[in-house]
Amino acid sequence: MKQRISQVLDGKVDVGSRVTIEGWVRTRRDSKAGLSFIAVHDGSCFEALQVVAPAELPEYVDVVQKITTGCAVRVTGVVVASQGKGQTVEVRGESVEVVGWVDDPESYPMQPKRHTMEYLREVAHLRPRTNVIGAVTRVRHTLAMAVHRFFHDRGFFWIHTPIITANDAEGAGQMFRVSTLDAANPPRTPTGAVDWNQDFFGKQAHLTVSGQLNVETYCLAMSQVYTFGPTFRAENSNTRRHLAEFWMIEPEIAFADLAADAQLAEDFLKSIFAAVLAERKDDLAFFEKFVDPGCQKRLAAMVESKFERMDYGDAVKVLAQSGKTFEFPVSWGMDLQAEHERFLTEEVVKGPIAVINYPKDIKAFYMRLNDDGKTVAAMDVLAPGIGEIIGGSQREERLEVLDARLDEMKLPKADYGWYRDLRRFGSVPHAGFGLGFERAIQYATGVENIRDVIPFPRAPRQAEF
């Protein structure tokens, strides 16, 4: 019977039963005692299965002894207790078939040894066969499923917000243009400007930088909703924390204020990381050993912790009085820098913290103005080792206040017609937040560069594969 390797190694298949497994070869070791050991993985779990191929097999010389790293194989044999030390069970092969050969072993880029992450990025089509990318892939999947489960269990609806947008108003960063016009020779208006009227959508269009504005519309109908999909930023950011294409999770809750939003963020983070701890012990053990010693402890601590809440004003005071010298001196009104956020979460609180009520001048137009008239109901959730992991806010539900904010920031009201309508027809207090999915994977695994937690990273000057 055909089995995934995880089933065999987890003891879900009885010793003595005959199985067929299919996968790719990590290593082959021959023994002159008349055996070959073939480590086979199929992605179902971290460990590879050891196949013992005895020399008596008719295909031993022509097939088994020619197997190299990377070959795709189908093996039928009996599950037996292992005589060796590295594993409890193994499969004694009765038939070993190579489904796909590595036609030139010397040129196969994946060697049975440690490669740098930079090198693996150059062979992104084959890197999922490595331990580290395989483990990342399983953790990524587990987190994605945990995200959906968390929201589904609480009655949220998953809203598929558009990827192409003609909103000129999302305002979250530089956008990628979507156009079918001939870039070398676009149609022109009489004044010589590009005539976007003749473009596919009859106006300028871009890839979305956030689904928030769209999802707010469904929030004010379905009460609890979220988006989870690809997002794009055309910023020239060259860091280990930024991608041009990444996945973002943005829940939005109606009849809710900032406190409810912060509570949701806390419950959410704990829930998805608890899922990884429970479901991917094998992969976490690997990250612990080879990537980030302490990552399991950090995750467990996050799941057990109570998130602190701290007012922005208090955070500024704490930083100013800390006696620590910062590259950017702290004063009320400035945005907190990475060094400040790290200090707060790693030195002051020593755990996750939600900083709330930021000065309105450093935050977006849609964030709800507080009664003091100078701060908005915004929050950043900071976590040790990563800094800001979530940004969110209560949204401005009062039309006149929203309009005043638009005017203040010199944003044209005409561009916000449908968004303003939400404040005209049955408006309610509502709130939400955004989480960069890849950042969550980085946090869970300790993988340093964000390009290694997404299958095919897109970044400035990088769109291979």
Restricted to residues 272-331, the positions that interact with RNA (CB under 7 A) are: 290, 328
Q: To the nearest whole angstrom, how small is the minimum distance from the Cβ of residue 185 to RNA?
A: 26
Site for RNA in 361-420 (CB under 7 A): 387-391
Q: To the nearest whole angstrom, how small is the minimum distance from the Cβ of residue 65 to RNA?
A: 10
- Residue in 210, 224, 357, 445 binding RNA, rule: CB under 7 A: 210
- Residue in 21, 63, 64, 243 binding RNA, rule: CB under 7 A: 243
Q: To the nearest whole angstrom, how small is the minimum distance from the Cβ of residue 422 to RNA?
A: 20
Site for RNA in 108-137 (CB under 7 A): 109, 111-116, 118-119, 121, 131
Q: To the nearest whole angstrom, how small is the minimum distance from the Cβ of residue 153 to RNA?
A: 23
Cβ burial of 417 (10 Å; 0-12, 13-18, 19+) is: exposed
If one asks whether residue 257 binds RNA (CB under 7 A), the answer comes out as no
CB 215 within 8 A of CB 432: yes
Is the CB of 117 or the CB of 259 nearer to RNA? Answer: 117
Please tell me the total number of residues recorded for the chain in this structure.
465
- Segment contacting RNA by CB under 7 A, of 189-197, 239-247, 276-284, 410-418: 239-247
Is the CB of 199 or the CB of 447 nearer to RNA? Answer: 447
C-alpha 167, offset from chain centre: 25
H helices of 223-363, in order, are 258-279, 281-286, 295-304, 312-320, 338-342
If one asks whether residue 40 binds RNA (CB under 7 A), the answer comes out as no
Both structure tokens of 454: 């997404």
- Residue in 6, 7, 27, 204 binding RNA, rule: CB under 7 A: 27
Q: To the nearest whole angstrom, how small is the minimum distance from the Cβ of residue 413 to RNA?
A: 22
Q: Return d(Cα 139, Cα 283) in angstroms, integer.
A: 7
- Residue in 86, 187, 202, 333 binding RNA, rule: CB under 7 A: 86
Q: To the nearest whole angstrom, how small is the minimum distance from the Cβ of residue 193 to RNA?
A: 26
If one asks whether residue 92 binds RNA (CB under 7 A), the answer comes out as yes
Q: Return d(Cα 301, Cα 362) in angstroms, integer.
A: 32
Number of residues that bind RNA (CB under 7 A): 72
If one asks whether residue 93 binds RNA (CB under 7 A), the answer comes out as no
Both structure tokens of 125: 């089509």
Q: Return d(Cα 122, Cα 451) in angstroms, integer.
A: 11
Is the CB of 6 or the CB of 82 nearer to RNA? Answer: 82
In order, the DSSP letters of 172-224 are: SS---EE--S-TTS--B-TTSSB-GGGSTTSS-EEE-S-SHHHHHHHHHHHSE
Q: What are the angstrom distances between the C-alpha of 91 and each of 13, 23, 54, 205?
A: 11, 13, 11, 56
- Residue in 14, 16, 85, 153 binding RNA, rule: CB under 7 A: 85
Q: Return d(Cα 430, Cα 41) in angstroms, integer.
A: 48
Q: Return d(Cα 385, Cα 163) in angstroms, integer.
A: 31
Site for RNA in 55-74 (CB under 7 A): 68-69
Q: To the nearest whole angstrom, how small is the minimum distance from the Cβ of residue 414 to RNA?
A: 23
Q: To the nearest whole angstrom, how small is the minimum distance from the Cβ of residue 345 to RNA?
A: 13
370 DSSP assignment: P
Q: Return d(Cα 328, Cα 332) in angstroms, integer.
A: 12
Is the CB of 178 or the CB of 244 nearer to RNA? Answer: 244
Q: To the nearest whole angstrom, how small is the minimum distance from the Cβ of residue 68 to RNA?
A: 5
Is the CB of 221 or the CB of 463 nearer to RNA? Answer: 463
- Segment contacting RNA by CB under 7 A, of 134-142, 352-360, 411-419, 431-439: 431-439
Q: To the nearest whole angstrom, how small is the minimum distance from the Cβ of residue 324 to RNA?
A: 15
Site for RNA in 436-455 (CB under 7 A): 436, 438-439, 448-451
Is the CB of 198 or the CB of 236 nearer to RNA? Answer: 236
Site for RNA in 143-202 (CB under 7 A): 172-173
Is the CB of 162 or the CB of 186 nearer to RNA? Answer: 162
Site for RNA in 217-236 (CB under 7 A): 233, 235-236
Give the residue from 27, 8, 6 showing the smallest Cα distance to 16: 8
CB 4 within 8 A of CB 42: yes
H helices of 18-115, in order, are none
- What crossing angle do the helices spanning 295-304 and 258-279 adopt, rounded to 10°? 140
Is the CB of 91 or the CB of 406 nearer to RNA? Answer: 91
Using alpha carbons only, give the angle 406, 407, 411 rounded to the nearest 5 degrees: 55
